[in-house]
Amino acid sequence: MSNALKQLTRLVHFFLFDLIWFLAVWGREQWLWLTIGLVVVLYLSAWRYLWARRRTLALYIVLGLAAEYLVVQAGIISFTGTDHLPWWLVVLWFGFAAMAMVVFTWLRERYVLAAIAGLVFGPITYFAGVGLGAAQLEVAAFWVGVTYSLVWALLMMVLVYLLARDTDKEQRYV
């Protein structure tokens, strides 16, 4: 695949995930089927690549959902309408993990940059979700920001590690 096509693929996946994020967070249960449909499109558009990384993909989804669960159980944030993780968030993690595996390959072995991206952009998405009514802060906004900055810095470094570990698979499928 040419570099231009790789870049276009990454851009399409990134913007498709942005749409998925918006539908999941704003539409929540009301738009769950549409969100699922777009996540399926995301997977189908890179199915060979994602299939080759299915164990890595599954591991990243589990780690992400575990992090979400721990933050909720710690009483940092709660999601509207449930004491647990809502289905739309589970679907969102399936979408994020797939997008991240395709889009963030350029971050491979750039742990500091990945951590900085997580520190900055991780909390922003949760504050946006709170603004859209998908979640409520259970502690001061400062502590929510600190928590999600640390969680997302770690999650992004784990992603970069997993991407570096699977380098040989990328050569064959992307």
> How many CB atoms neighbour CB 118 within 10 A?
23
CA-CA distance, 159 to 164, in Å (whole number)? Answer: 9
Predicted pLDDT of residue 174: 47
Query: 43-100: per-residue pLDDT in tens?
Result: 999 999 999 999 999 999 999 999 999 999 999 999 999 999 999 999 999 999 999 9
Measure the CA–CA gap between 50 and 169, rounded to whole angstroms: 10
Give the per-residue pLDDT at 109. 85
- Helix, coil or strand: residue 155: helix
163, 108 contact by CB (below 8 A): yes
**Could you tell me the pLDDT band of residue 7, with boundaries at 50, 70 and 90?**
confident
Determine the pLDDT at residue 1.
63
pLDDT of 15 > 60? The answer is yes
Q: What is the pLDDT, as a whole number, of residue 173?
A: 47
DSSP state of 2: -
Q: Please state, rounded to an integer, the average pLDDT across all residues of the chain.
A: 93
- In the predicted structure, residue 2 carries a pLDDT above the cut 90: no
Q: Are the CB atoms for 119 and 154 separated by under 8 Å?
A: no
Q: What are the domain boundaries of the chain?
A: 3-173
Gap between the Cα atoms of 172 and 91, Å rounded? 28
